[in-house]
Every structure is written in structure tokens, then in C-alpha cells.
A and B are shown apart, each in its own frame.
Chain A
């Protein structure tokens, strides 16, 4: 392998294995800046990441990696959530028994369910702390205002995911928590009763409610969250990477209309 090689078009000896490798990986060994860059942006999963970031931006104490932590927890929740779906029926006679089976009968069910449960709690906490960090750093200011709005929507989606998942074990805690939540919705002026009726799929918490919360929890809200998250992450890149205060970028503060801008 020639150091610094970018893309081999010339017929070279190397055999079938090399051809297969080349069909998948189009860049040379990442020992030059160019190939290191190609390794990132010719890869679907890595290209989300910028090719270059400031050392200041990836310092742990700058962000505590809270946004990344929330995203990682979402991946864990998707994987464990899909796993427990194989044993859970969203119906009144089966739901509670299925969750009990996950805890006591299904091999590794207890760990998958509890990883899902604790990751869910942790994700709400991570999203909240991430927003607190962003707020305290003042990172919601221009040009990042819209990404703050997306962040608020992501918090709402996360909380709704947490809330809809809470009903699914169909135990006393779930039942009364959802009673309280839908009563809160019913307190909205004028349309409160309709919102409550639509959420419950009736006048009381019943099989319709369980099915509705299940579909929201497993399909609708994860899709909404994934879509919002994609735009959120894209905006981080388009808004110039994560916010760094002027002393961290080494640039003097520019002052426009009396307000310092990043």
C-alpha cells in the first residue's frame, strides 16, 4: 500500500479479497490528513461527525458529552425496546402478565427490560441536563436560536416517550399515573375534554388507551424524535459546531448592536 494513496483506479495485483475490500472502502490507509478526512466523510455513520473539530469543543468539561449521552441512550432504548416488543402484547389481559414474564421467565428479559427502564430515566435526565448546560453557556443565542427550539421539541418528545412507556406495564402505578396525566390534559380550557378523549380513545383508561399509548410509544414518537434529532444534529454543524466562548476560540469578541456574538 502506497502511503497517501487516495483511490486506486489502475488495475493492480492483489486478488479477490482486495477487490472486495476496495468495493466497500474507497480510501487508502488513514495515515495522511486527506485519507483521514475521506475515512470520515465517505462513511455513512461517521459523516455525521465533522471532519475536524476544535480541541476545545471536545473537552469533556465543556459539554460533559450530555447531548451525545442522550443520543447514545436513545440507541440503547431502541435496541432494548425492540427486544422487549417480541414478548409484549399491548392488550389488557396480556400486558401485565407479559411484563411479569419478562421479569421472571424470559431469558435475559429482566436485564433487557431494566436496561430499557433505567436508560429511559437516564435519557430524560441527560436531555434536561444537556439543556441546562446549553442554557448556562448561552449557546441558545444567535445563530443557534432555532436549534434551541428544536431542542425544546426534542425534550417534549422525550418526555412524551417516557410518559407513554409508563402505561405499558399496566400495573397500579401506571394506571393512576396515566389517570393523573390525562386529567391534567382535561384541564386545558375548551378543548381539554376532547384531548383527554382522543388520548384515552374513550371516557376511561381501557384497552383503547393501552393500544394508543403503545403505538405512540413504539412507532409515532420514536419517528418524530429521530426526525427532529437528525435536523438538530445537522443544525449543530451548520451553525458552526458547538458553541465556544470567545476565550476558547482565541478570537476577540465581536460586538454587534452592543451584544457580543460568538
Chain B
């Protein structure tokens, strides 16, 4: 392979008028500015700081919750259940369109007031438009306290043994 003398090679020359060249450059500059403005407008609308309660919080000491009981935490939209084999945390948010379910202790189920979905105490769908069981949330023991993270999912059927 020898060196190619590209200066000697024939390069096609495209002639465009000054007016056209300036027009294309202006349009390109305007396009870049418009795209940048659009991106920044969307970015501007995304808040960088949120004043929301932390997703991870302490529920209490595990022995404060007796076996076979359910703790409803409406502010955190969460249920903590202690079954015979251990604890699990379940989102109270209906899997249909995000309303908050209500615990009906007498009927041993959760009811969504918006469109009538119902779930059993394990969160499985009993009826209504809900497409899947209530989401499980991460639950753990830290420094002897029961801790939940509402943004961390947990697999269905997982139980925390204490």
C-alpha cells in the first residue's frame, strides 16, 4: 500500500450560492437552538429536589406486631402483615389505576373504592379490573427494628422470618 496523494485526486466541486449557503447555515443554527430549547424545557420541568417523605422508614420493633395481625399505614400506602411464618410488606396501591385499597378486616380482604377490585390478605386478586396481585415491598431488620423501603420491590410470596 502506497500513500495516496489526495490533493491530486479529483474532488467534485459543488457550487452553491452565497444566499443558499447562508440560508442553510441559518436554518441549521435555528434548528439546533430549537432542539436545545425543547430539551432544556423538558429538563427544566423535572424537579431536582423533591420534598417527599423518605421511601425507607422504621415500622417498629418486630415483637410489637403480634402473629396474625395486619398494620395498615395509609400515609405510606402500605400494609405490614405478620403471618404464622413471618412478615411481609405490601403496597396498598391498587394495581389497576393507583387508588388506595381499604382493609376490610371482617371480610378478610382489601377493596379498592375506585373501581371495585378486591384482593385477599396475600394480595392476590379476588375480583374486579386489577391485572395483578398487590405489589410486595422490601422488608428487613436493621438494628433490631423492622424497616421498609416502599421503592424497593420484593418477590411475591417472600416472607421475612424473625
Contact = CB atoms under 8 A, between A and B. Distances in A.
B46 A198 contact: yes
A202 B98 contact: no
Interface string B68-82: 000000000000000
A32 interface: no
Interface size class on chain B is 10 to 19
Interface size class on chain A is 10 to 19
Nearest to A206: B52
Contacts, number: 32
Contacts of B113: 176
A184 B97 CA distance: 7
Interface in B8-55: 42, 45-47, 50-52
B114 interface: yes
A183 interface: yes
A183 B129 CA distance: 14
A55 to B, nearest CB: 48
Interface in A158-217: 176, 179-180, 182-184, 186, 197-198, 201-204, 206-208
Given A201-B47, A202-B47, A179 B97 contact: yes
Nearest to B151: A203
B6 to A, nearest CB: 45
A208 B48 CA distance: 12
A202 B52 CA distance: 8
Nearest first, the 4 closest Cβ-Cβ pairs linking A and B are A183-B98, A180-B97, A183-B97, A202-B50
